[in-house]
Each structure stands twice: as C-alpha cells, then as structure tokens.
Structure 1
Amino acid sequence: MGTIAPPVSNELILTESRTMRTQTIERTEALDKVKALSMLPDDLHVTTEMAAAYYEVDTQAIHSLVRRNRDELMQNGMQTIQGAELRTYKAETGGQGDHLFNGVRSLRLFTRRALLNVGQLLSESDVARRIRHYLLNAEQVVRQEVQPRQVNRPRGMTVSDFRVTFFGDVAPRQLDRHLYDRGYLIDQRKSRINARGELRDGYKHRHPTAMGSRWLQLPEGRYVDANGHERGGAVVRPDRVHELVDRLIAEGLQHNATISRAPSRLALTSSEVVEGHVIEFRRGA
C-alpha cells in the first residue's frame, strides 16, 4: 500500500512558476474538490463576477489579475465576447443567463481551466491557497508513483533503418506521411505549447496507434519522465518486420530492388521444381 504524501507547504511556487502551473493545469477537478462551483447555463463557463464569488474576492482583484496575466489566461480558455457573438451566446442559453449579464456590452468568460489558472495565480484568496495546496499535493503523489524509469522491451529496428533496408527509394518524409495517414503512427507534430509559449510535438508523437501496435512498439531503453510521458518514437517489432514489409508493399510503397537478398522468407515470392532443382522467384530479382 502506498503512503500518502505529506502536505506541500510552499503553495506560492504556483504563483511564481509558469512551468508548475502548466504541469497542474489539467487538474480542474480541484475546483469541485475545494468548493462547490456554480457555472453558467452552458455548464462550460463562469463570468468575472462568478469567478470573484468563487474565490471570495472582489471583482477588482480578478480584473487586476487578468491585466497582469492576460496571455496565459487566454491560452487556458478565457475570452471576451461582444456584439453579435454576445447576442448569439445569450440566445444559445435560452435567456437563462440574462440575470447575470443583462445590459452588458461585453462579457468575459472563464473556462474551468482558466478559472483554475486564476486560482494558481491569485495570492490574496484563501480558496485559491487551498486550490494550490490540492494541486501540489496531487503533483507530489504523482511524482512518487511515477518516477523516471527505463522501460525494457525487446529490441526493434528503427523506422529509419527499416526504410533504408527495405524501402530505400522512398523518401523519409514520404514513409512518415504514409505511416501517419494509414494509421500506424500517431501524428502530433507541433500540437503542444510549452511553458515558454513555443510549439512542440505532442507527448505521443510517433507512438504506435492501436492498429499500428501490431507491427510497431516503443523501443527498449525508452524513458518515462516524472510526469509519466514516454519519450521518443516507435521501432518495428523484431518479430513483425517482414509482415510489415509485405503490408507496405501491398499498400503501394516501392521496395528496394535488392530486397531479394534479405535473409528471410520475405523475398521469396514463389518456387518451382524444374528438372529436379528448386527454382526460387524473388521480388526485385
């Protein structure tokens, strides 16, 4: 049985470190764990006034926090609507929220992530402090349970070596695109924004898909970081190399002319006995 992590006392690390805020921003369950949360009728957003009521501060504290951290809050779902967009939003709520924003010309909305982001940043709220304690305790438990470790798996051929060996005339990008489009590998190119606001590949980029895992796997010596993310691309399963080659040839990829020299049954297309001798007919011969 695992031990419960002791409380984390320095909750202000979240107000100071955007990296830590990014690492814990998905834990929106903290909002309901710490205090009952009322949402707008769409059950997706709260207003500035509702955010202030949740954190038990005046609205000016929320306005000030937004001015200082607008970009980060917008990345986490905060938005301001007005004009036709505001009229459409009112219509979509069926008038149920009129008492909350009747007569306003613009409306600032916070998603759950954005509201949690407010709690990560708001220093003068007891509710926000409890939110930060929850987030850091949860993060500490995860770090104790998921330590960086090496994952041992059977060795496999890298996709690059596989291409050179069997499909050398196929450009690397062409093979990658084929593996993405046909559903062998997960394509998460430039799908994640890091703590510095830079575009990065997603954590599962080039992982095998559920279908692709028949022929591809995560490699031996693959590392799992402290947040549980396995890093690096897939390799071809050592017991399925030739099966995958056959499949890709059937899908139209041009194989090497020298594939007949591969030390396997792959190169063998058919055989016949001619005058007592076995004649083998091979691909690329």
Structure 2
Amino acid sequence: MATIAPPVSNELILTESRTMRAQTIERTEVLDKVKALSMLPDSLHVTTEMAAAYYEVDTQAIHSLVRRNRDELTQNGMRTIQGAELRVFKAETGGQGDHLFNGVRSLRLFTRRAMLNVGQLLTESDVARQVRHYLLNAEQVVRQEIQPHQDVPARHMTPTTFRQVYFSDVPENVFWDHLYREYLLDQRNTRRDALGNLSKDGYRHGHPRAGKGDKYFMLPEDMWVDAHGRPRGRAVVRPDRVRELVEQLIADGLRANPCISWFPSPSRPALTSTEVVDGHVIEFRRGA
C-alpha cells in the first residue's frame, strides 16, 4: 500500500459533504495510487465482493453503504444486472469470470467512479481513509495553486475545475456543449451496453480534438489504460496554455468570471460561498 502525506484537513469532510464529493469524483486515478484495484475481465467494473476486498471490509459494510447512499452511487455508475442482461454480461466476459457468477441471479457492479464514491463515504476502512486523504490533498493543491494569473499543473486542471475557476457564471451545459463542439471529442452514448442500447460513452470521449483541442488540452501522463491498451479518461488543460485558453473562450463568446486579475478592473467583486462541515469551513469561489 502506498505511503501518503499527512492529510491537509479532516478527511471526514468528504463523508459529510456531497458538494465536496461531487467536486472530487473525477479523480479516479487515486484508487490506483492507494493500492492495486482488481477489475472484472471487462476492465470496467468490480463486484460487491471485489469492492469489499479493495477496501478491506466485509461485504455487509458495502451492502449497508449501498442502502444508505443508493441514489448517489447509482448516479456515479453503480448498477445491478439480472436476467437477460446478466446472461449477456457473462457471455461478454468469455467465461473468464464464471467463478464469480456461479449461482448468481443478480450482480451488483461498480464502475471506477462508483468505487471512488464508496471510498468517499466508507468510514470503517483504513483504505477508504487513505483515498480521502489523497483526494483532499489534491483539492488543497488546486485551491492553493489556482490563481487567475498563474498556470496550474495539468494533472490538476480538469475542464471541470477550469470552469469553476474561470467560467462559473456560464451554465454547465452551455460550457460543456461549447467544449464538445470546438475542443473535445463528443462520444456520449455512442457505445452499446450489454442489452445493445447506445448508453455508454465512446472510448475516446473527452479527448482533445485535432487542431484547437490539441492546442489547449492534453491527455495526462498518468491516465489509466485498460486491458486492451486504450487510454480511459478525459483531457486536462495544458499547463502552459491556461491563460491563453481563457482568452480564447472569451473570444468565443463565453463570459469569464469578473475576478480574473489580468483583465480590466471588474465592475463587481467575486463572491464566495461557504459550507460548514464537522467544524470545518469549506469555501467555494465564483464570479458575482
């Protein structure tokens, strides 16, 4: 198991604040930094038993967590398959996972994102605590390093974080539609699930488009690669192009936050909102 730095703040903040969990849920690479995560043969899912083994708890702890947080976990990729869908799933594994499915009538599956969500919520696991420490350390680095006049390391500056810092007044769907139209590949719902429905994102969803996309975005060096050698995950902002991308998106017509220091004095100040969790004040900054 990896040795980590001391936590920057109480890791229980993540178990108490759904806002903080949503803010860090994209950092699934943390799972591999804490310990090796075994996946099913499809390289996309783990079972309840595998989740319990990773977090070094019994399966009942995972079942209890699911009962308390079913909606959030489902939103982050957890699902239960049975009947025809389960038979198709078994067939897709080519028999490699038969020992996991013997006598099983239904199967609960966790994506990497759902697995990270488990780690954000699970209080009785030392592994989960280390996952939360990693997440909060990374979040603290972002909060310390994100200044309007500075560039941020690419591994931290995801498009989601970029929007929160520079374009939080732009509705999320408008921001992402613009990126997918001009800068990033849009492969939402282009891959079929076990029942043949187009409900999965393509393998290159969120990767930089040739041209403008490559200019401002890149795939992180530590991106997870699946068993077939395909890089899985999304692009990050090039560290030397943060300011240039802000200026380009303003030229595209998006409205930047008025707190950006290299533009003329703002007509109104930036606002901060705070959330107090377990005695800790969590601050979220956005444009007024």
- Which is worse superposed, 9-18 or 211-220? 211-220
Q: Which amino acid aligns with 2:49?
A: E
TM-score (norm: length of structure 2): 0.55
SS at match of 2:10: coil
Q: Distance in 1 between matches of 2:45 and 2:84?
A: 18
Paired-residue identity, %: 74
**Which residue does the alignment assign to 2:27?**
27
Q: Cα deviations across residues 220-274 of structure 1 (Å, max 9, x unaligned)?
A: 7655799999979xxxxxxxxxxxxxxxxxxxxxxxxxxxxxxxxxxxxxxxxxx
Matches within 5 A, 1:29-178: 29-147=29-147
Q: Cα deviations across residues 12-66 of structure 1 (Å, max 9, x unaligned)?
A: 0000000000000000001000011100000000000000000000000000000
Q: Distance in 1 between matches of 2:137 and 2:251?
A: 40
SS at match of 1:80: strand
Q: How many Å apart are 1:209 and its aligned residue?
A: 2.9
The correspondence for 2:252, drawn from 192, 200, 216, is: 216
- Relative to structure 1, is the Cα distance of residues 231 and 65 closer, same or farther in structure 2, using a 3 angstrom cutoff? same
Q: How many Å apart are 1:201 and its aligned residue?
A: 2.7
Contact 1:14 1:121 in 2 (8 A): yes
Q: Distance in 2 between matches of 1:114 and 1:122?
A: 12
Contact 2:119 2:129 in 1 (8 A): yes
SS at match of 1:28: coil
TM-score (norm: length of structure 1): 0.56
Q: What are the ranges of 5 or more consecutive residues in structure 2 without an aligned counterpart?
A: 151-170, 184-211, 213-247, 261-269, 273-282
Q: Distance in 1 between matches of 2:25 and 2:51?
A: 17
- Relative to structure 1, is the Cα distance of residues 123 and 57 closer, same or farther in structure 2, using a 3 angstrom cutoff? same
Q: Distance in 1 between matches of 2:257 and 2:85?
A: 51
4+ residue stretches of structure 1 with deviation over 4 A? 205-208, 210-215, 217-232
Q: Distance in 2 between matches of 1:91 and 1:228?
A: 46
Q: How many Å apart are 1:213 and its aligned residue?
A: 6.9
- Relative to structure 1, is the Cα distance of residues 85 and 231 closer, same or farther in structure 2, using a 3 angstrom cutoff? farther
| Bigger radius of gyration among the two | 1
Q: Which amino acid aligns with 2:129?
A: R
Contact 1:7 1:133 in 2 (8 A): yes
- Relative to structure 1, is the Cα distance of residues 71 and 35 closer, same or farther in structure 2, using a 3 angstrom cutoff? same
Q: Cα deviations across residues 120-172 of structure 1 (Å, max 9, x unaligned)?
A: 0000000000000000000000111113679xxxxxxxxxxxxxxxxxxxxxx
Contact 1:203 1:229 in 2 (8 A): no
The correspondence for 2:173, drawn from 201, 204, 208, is: 201
SS at match of 1:130: helix
Q: How many Å apart are 1:204 and its aligned residue?
A: 3.8
SS at match of 1:109: strand
Q: Distance in 1 between matches of 2:259 and 2:175?
A: 12
- Which is worse superposed, 217-226 or 123-132? 217-226
Q: Distance in 2 between matches of 1:228 and 1:17?
A: 13
Alpha carbon RMSD of aligned pairs, Å?
3.5
Q: Distance in 1 between matches of 2:256 and 2:6?
A: 35
Q: Cα deviations across residues 159-198 of structure 1 (Å, max 9, x unaligned)?
A: xxxxxxxxxxxxxxxxxxxxxxxxxxxxxxxxxxxxxxxx
Q: Distance in 1 between matches of 2:142 and 2:31?
A: 19
Q: Distance in 1 between matches of 2:42 and 2:136?
A: 30
Contact 2:34 2:127 in 1 (8 A): yes
SS at match of 1:108: strand
Q: Distance in 2 between matches of 1:106 and 1:220?
A: 48
Q: Distance in 2 between matches of 1:40 and 1:65?
A: 21
